[in-house]
Structure formats: C-alpha cells, structure tokens
Amino acid sequence: MLQYKMKRLWDKYSNIGAREEFTSDTRSKIRISNQLSIVTSLLAVLYFLYVAFTMPQRDFETERIFLFFHLGIALYCIPVLLLNKHGFYILARLFIIVTVSLLNTVNSFFLEQPFRTELYYFVTAAFIFVVFNDWRVILPLYFSQVVLFYIAASNIIHKTPSIASAADGLEFRTFIYFSTLFATLFFLRKETNRYKRKAEQQTIQLSQERDDMEKLNFTKDKIFSIISHDLRNPIGSLKSMLELLKNEHISPEEFKKISIDLNKQVGQLHVSLDEMLTWSKAQLHGINPEPELTLLRPLVQKISTVSKMAARNKKIILTTSISGKTEVFCDPNMLTSVISNLFSNAIKFTSKGGAISLFTEVKNGHVKICIEDTGVGISKENLNKILSKDIHHTTLGTNNEKGTGLGLIMSREFVEKNNGIFSINSKEGQGSIFTIQLPSHN
C-alpha cells in the first residue's frame, strides 16, 4: 500500500507540466527536469542530515559551508516544479543548470577539501545534452561547464599545496575529461534518436496497416450487406418469373407485361453492380487519378445523352448549360463516373414532371459544376448517414427505385482525389443542389 502511494506521488510530481497534447519527446524532457530536481533535492537533504547528526566529531566550521550548500540544493526543486507547472519549461531547465553551476563554483572557493563538488559539473553537462535539442544552446552551455570546472579545479589546487603538482597538465586533462564525456553523450544521443525514428516509423506503419485492415473489413461488410439486401431481391424476382414461365403458370402475354418491370429491375441491378464494383476496386486496390485538362461540355453531353433516356421515362426535363471553352483539370473517367452518378441520383429522387439542370461557374481558377433538381430533397439526418462510411444507408426513389447507397460516397471520394470539393445543399421537400468544385488548370 505504501509502495503504491509513493509511486502515485512520484508520478504526480514527475508529470507536472507534461501535458497530453505535447509530443512524447517534450513530455520526456519535462519529466526528466522534474525528476532530476526532486532526486537531487532528496539526496541533498539526506546528506545534510547525515553530516549534521551522525558525524558530530567532524569539524563543523569546515563542513558548515558544504552543509548549507546541500541545504540550498534541497530547496531548488520547488521553483523547477513551479516553472514547469506554469509552462516555463526552458526557464526551468536553465534554472537547474545555472543554480547548480553557481553553487558548485561558490563552494569550490570556500571548501578546503579538494574535489568535493567538481563532479557536479559532469552531471550538469550530461543534463544539458539530455534536455536540449538545439546545438546552438547545447554547445555554449556545455562549454560553460568546461570553463567552470577548470576554474574550480585551479582554485582548489592553488589553495591546497599538497596537490600543487596536479596543476601540471590540468588544461589537457580537462579537455580529455569533457571531450570523452561529449563523445559518449553524442553517440548515445545519435543512437537514441535513430531508435526513436525507427520506432516512430514502425508505429506509423502499424497504424497504416490497422487502418487498411479496418478499411478492408468495412468494404467487405458493405459489399455483403449490398448483396444480401439490394441485389438479392431483383435476382430473386427474375428467378421466380422465369420459373413461373417455365412451369407454364403464366402465359407468354402475361410474362411480356411483367417483363417491363423486370427490365427496369435488371437495369437498376446493372447500375448497382457497376457502382459496387467501381467503389470496391477503389477501396481494395486504390484508384490513382490521371488528371488532364478536359473540355467539360463534350464530356457532359455524352453523359446527358444516356441520362436523358432514363429521365424521359419519368417525364423529367434534363438540361445542361456549359460554355464551350470551359476546362477542368481532373481525371476524365472519374469525373464521368461522378456526373453519371449524380444524374442517376437526381432522376431517382425527382418525381414525374420534375426538372434537373446542370450549370457551371468559373471563379478564381476553379470551376463549379452544379446539378440542381426539383426532387424530394434530403433531411439533415439522412444527409449525414448518406455521406458516412460507417453506415449503410439507402432510400427508395420516387418510383421505388433501389440503389446501393454508394453513389454519393464514391462521388465525394473521386472528387477529393482530384483536389476538388464535393458539397450538397438540400432541404427536405425542396430539392437538392450537388456541387463539384475542381481546378481549371494544373
């Protein structure tokens, strides 16, 4: 129980200022600052108590400055934690470096026993390497520790005649000490960053693989749902009619009358299968657009010629208004699929005697292709369902036409793949406007 409480307390103070929105590297540096200040403070307190109460035989005058030095270090975790808590992360790190360096240097001038605090310069130098990324910050701060160590060591040697010979070659030894430490920290940092980059790449790869797997599962579920709900019934109806005809339960004349409806169902089935196969291919294998400057008018005329035949069956007037010079930069095959789907969708949800119009607007290097109908419109709730990849939603047309629920999803995906914007403006009972915005040049 005590161990659990201590761990919670340690985690609480270690994570002061380490916000969730920060990168793992930034949070790690903040935690290291907190942890170093806490550990150093605790060790300083323990040493102060050890010297003050368990070693009374030692000369208090000699140890007094050293004791107060440790007592000062024991308190410096408080400003570090406060600075990190209020978002002054760089100041917290600089405070640790400056405070420890200053206390080390001051004590080296007062202690009569050599090399009691000089090792802290090496710890501070290592800390600089860990908590900073910018070499413009690391190198000056690191070099400051080298200079301070040399000054402190020179002072100690000067004040201690018994080790006067240590002055010979002090510059060289200082250079060797800190160069070795620098090289060690540099290669450790390099290897750490290499493994970190490798881990990040693996994380990205795993995330991509997970997304791909979810995408494949969704595609599979959607295809099975469409086959079981939207394609099975028309095929079942056709099979039943053929069995009735085969068993002579209906006459050829009756079958001829029924075949008009069957022909419509088979036509809808063909469109549904085409939509499903195109969408499935895009999801499973990916379709990369091959954009080119495309004259819009002849492309739309070719599509409208086919769509007008379906519109006439419902006495719907379908018109297009496009300037002969209007060009868009996109994959023409994808755009053909999108406009065909939107025409088919508009016809499906427009009642007899209605109207569908396609018109364009050129503005700021983009072409807006608008398809407006006088159909039943779409409620806000259904609009969100229609464009959702997670919900399989279909609605019967005004003549009970069925669909796959993929047309608008596929249209939006194809438009976005061509650096375009797909939008729908619709009100229930007032018709809809489908807008495709594409670049007019590369």
pTM of the model: 0.50
What is the side-by-side order of every strand in the sheet holding 355-363? 317-321, 355-363, 366-373, 432-439, 421-426
pLDDT at 400: 59
Phi/psi for 369 (5° steps) reads -105, 115
Exposed e or buried b per residue across 258-275, where buried means at least 16 C-beta atoms within 10 angstroms of its C-beta = eeeeeebbeebbebbeeb
What's the Cα-to-Cα distance from 190 to each of 172, 177, 185, rounded to whole Å? 26, 20, 8
pLDDT at 182: 92
Exposed e or buried b per residue across 176-212, where buried means at least 16 C-beta atoms within 10 angstroms of its C-beta = ebbeebbeebeeeeeeeeeeeeeeeeeeeeeeeeeee
Beta bridge partners of 371: 358, 434
Cβ-proximal residues to 228 (8 Å cutoff; 6+ apart), any chain: none
Q: What are the residue ranges in the chain where pLDDT is below 70?
A: 1, 54-70, 110-117, 215-216, 218-237, 255, 260-262, 264-287, 386-406, 442
In angstroms, the CA 385 to CA 181 distance is: 62
pLDDT at 221: 64
pLDDT at 64: 63
pLDDT at 412: 85
pLDDT tens-digit readout, 83-105: 999 989 999 999 988 888 887 78
How many residues are listed for the chain in this entry?
Answer: 442
Cβ-proximal residues to 64 (8 Å cutoff; 6+ apart), any chain: none
pLDDT at 398: 66
The helix/strand/coil state of 250 is coil
Contacts of residues 192-200 at CB distance under 8 Å and 24 or more positions apart, as own/partner, are 196/25
What's the Cα-to-Cα distance from 414 to each of 184, 242, 359, 371, 426, rounded to whole Å? 53, 39, 20, 16, 21
Beta bridge partners of 434: 371, 424
In angstroms, the CA 339 to CA 75 distance is: 72
Domain ranges of the chain: 2-168, 291-442
Architecture field, domain 291-442? 2-Layer Sandwich (3.30)
